[in-house]
Amino acid sequence: MYRPSRNLVTLGEFIIERQADFPYAKGELSSLLSDISIAAKIVNREVNKAGLVNILGEAGTDNIQGESQKKLDVFANEQFLAALASGGECAGVASEENDDIILFDNHSTVNGKYVVCMDPLDGSSNIDVNVSVGTIFSIYRRKTKNGPATVEDFLQHGSDQVAAGYIVYGSSTMLVYTTGNGVNGFTLDPSIGEFCLSHPEMRIPKKGNIYSVNQGNFIHFPEGIKKYIKNCQADDKANNKPYTLRYIGSLVSDFHRNLIKGGIYIYPTTLNSPKGKLRLIYEANPMAMIAEQAGGKATDGYKDILEIKPLDIHQRVPLYVGSESMVNESMKFLHEFSDENMQPQYNAKSVN
Ligand code: P6P
């Protein structure tokens, strides 16, 4: 009986291996995940030379090959849309870069079984200062059966996601995803151009000592979050405090570090973001699915993110995500010290 001698498992091999988790799937989800990984490799190549591109000319000008240069987030969006359109499994995309849903009208994709919500390049303002950025994606089976997808296909509860993941373009490039059977991380090996399994069965520590929040907004935070942050800073060695503040302004990177080390990421309501800043369907929901699948928790401060019914594809929500005990502790402070009226109300009138 042949036994492979190498212990390297590529993303493609892993997806095929795990296909058995989906008894009725005929490989469509596997193929869709592979389409995303191809676009990720192309985006990675451009992100890694972004500085060079800036030297060669500003976005909007022509590069030495005479191609018009695009802002990297527009470029990233185009790569993922192209890969998903040609892959044939995806009927449409809701993207941070597009006001409305993008429907693929070539025959194979109009009947594609899935739709994708994505933030093609989250944290892109960090590109010019060489700080890690990321792509976030969320996959649903369509609710509509034939013909073009409709916006209802994209406004499903996060608990209905069939897969969620992110790519972090950092010191190394990693793809982390879940299909509801745990979380696995793959590191891109540029020498072979493959994502290779490097972090099998990722679990977030129940407790951590890292909190990630933009303290510049402190005076506009709910009273309970002000008190929670002060509690994180307390001189309380018995409870491993003061915690460490780590916030780099890139959700994917802050989330990824906290997933590995334990910690909490908070973007609460603020004066400038009364509904929170993060977007429900292509930032909060995928991160919430990953967090829960890794043993963590994700809420809007009151309600599980995955239980919120989206009303608009660009709807914002407050986000508390990470180690379960830290999310619970932050919510205890929020409920005890904040005005109940601060609780997010989800109605069609104002969602953004
Ligand atoms: P602020 C990036 O724009 C982003 O959506 C997240 O990646 C990041 O965590 C957050 O916004 C940063 O927002 O207001 O702290 O600059």
What would the pLDDT profile of 141-193 be if each residue is shown by its tens digit?
999 987 899 999 999 999 999 999 999 999 999 999 999 999 999 999 999 99
CA 125–ligand 1 middle distance (angstroms): 9
Q: Which helix (H) or strand (E) holds 122?
A: strand 114-122
Closest C-alpha residue for ligand 1 atom 14: 214
pLDDT for 246 equals: 98
Q: Is the pLDDT of residue 2 over 90?
A: no
Q: Is the pLDDT of residue 6 over 50?
A: yes
Q: Is the pLDDT of residue 248 over 60?
A: yes
- The identity of residue 288, as a single letter, is A
Q: Is the pLDDT of residue 45 over 70?
A: yes
Q: Is the pLDDT of residue 216 over 90?
A: yes
* Same domain, residue pair 214 and 321: yes
Confidence of residue 194 (pLDDT cuts 50, 70, 90): very high
Confidence of residue 67 (pLDDT cuts 50, 70, 90): low
Confidence of residue 65 (pLDDT cuts 50, 70, 90): very low
> Is any atom of ligand 1 closer than 6 Å to the C-beta of 321?
no
The residue-averaged pLDDT of 228-246 equals: 97
The region, left, alpha or beta by phi > 0 then psi within -120 to 50, assigned to residue 216 is: alpha
* Same domain, residue pair 178 and 220: no
Confidence of residue 23 (pLDDT cuts 50, 70, 90): low
CA 142–ligand 1 middle distance (angstroms): 30
pLDDT for 257 equals: 98
Confidence of residue 22 (pLDDT cuts 50, 70, 90): low
Q: Is residue 351 part of a domain?
A: no
* Same domain, residue pair 68 and 163: yes
Cis peptide preceding 4, ω within 30 of 0: no
pLDDT for 64 equals: 43
Q: Is the pLDDT of residue 55 over 90?
A: no
CA 39–ligand 1 middle distance (angstroms): 23
Q: Is the pLDDT of residue 57 over 50?
A: no
E-assigned strands of 200-247? 210-212, 244-245
Q: Which ligand 1 atom minimizes the distance to the CA of 265?
A: 9
pLDDT for 350 equals: 61
Q: Is residue 169 part of a domain?
A: yes
The residue-averaged pLDDT of 131-141 equals: 96
Q: Is the pLDDT of residue 352 over 70?
A: no
pLDDT for 56 equals: 37
> Is any atom of ligand 1 closer than 6 Å to the C-beta of 96?
no
Domain boundary among 150, 174, 199: 199
pLDDT for 346 equals: 81
Least confident of 178-187, 189-198, 342-351: 342-351
Q: What's the number of domains the chain is made of?
A: 2
* Same domain, residue pair 331 and 289: yes
* Same domain, residue pair 118 and 28: yes
Count of beta carbons in the 10 Å neighbourhood of residue 270 = 20
CA 214–ligand 1 middle distance (angstroms): 9
More confidently predicted of 135 and 108:
135
Q: Which helix (H) or strand (E) holds 258?
A: helix 251-261
- DSSP state, 93? E
Q: Is residue 109 part of a domain?
A: yes
Following CA atoms 26, 288, 116, 180 in sequence, which dihedral angle do they give, to the nearest 10 degrees? 0
* Same domain, residue pair 161 and 180: yes
To test the ligand 1 pocket, which listed residue (214, 221, 282) has its Cβ within 8 A of the most ligand atoms? 214
Distance CA 350, CA 352 (A): 6
Q: Which helix (H) or strand (E) holds 15?
A: helix 11-18
Domain boundary among 157, 173, 199: 199
Q: Is the pLDDT of residue 281 over 80?
A: yes
* Same domain, residue pair 121 and 37: yes
> Is any atom of ligand 1 closer than 6 Å to the C-beta of 123?
yes
> Is any atom of ligand 1 closer than 6 Å to the C-beta of 257?
no
To test the ligand 1 pocket, which listed residue (122, 166, 213) has its Cβ within 8 A of the most ligand atoms? 122
Domain boundary among 173, 199, 225: 199
Confidence of residue 71 (pLDDT cuts 50, 70, 90): confident
The residue-averaged pLDDT of 113-126 equals: 91
pLDDT for 24 equals: 57
CA 55–ligand 1 middle distance (angstroms): 26
CATH code of the domain in which 90 resides: 3.30.540.10
Phi, psi (deg, nearest 5) at residue 127: -55, -45
Domain that holds residue 252: 210-342
* Same domain, residue pair 175 and 240: no
The residue-averaged pLDDT of 281-291 equals: 98
Residues in a beta bridge with 126: none
**Strand, coil or helix: 43:** helix
Residue 214 to residues 83, 165, 248, Cα–Cα distance (Å): 34, 24, 9
Q: Average pLDDT, whole number, for the chain?
A: 90
Confidence of residue 244 (pLDDT cuts 50, 70, 90): very high
* Same domain, residue pair 159 and 45: yes
* Same domain, residue pair 99 and 173: yes
Q: Is the pLDDT of residue 204 over 70?
A: yes
* Same domain, residue pair 171 and 55: yes
* Same domain, residue pair 186 and 223: no
pLDDT for 109 equals: 67
CATH code of the domain in which 316 resides: 3.40.190.80
Q: Is residue 352 part of a domain?
A: no
Closest C-alpha residue for ligand 1 atom 16: 249
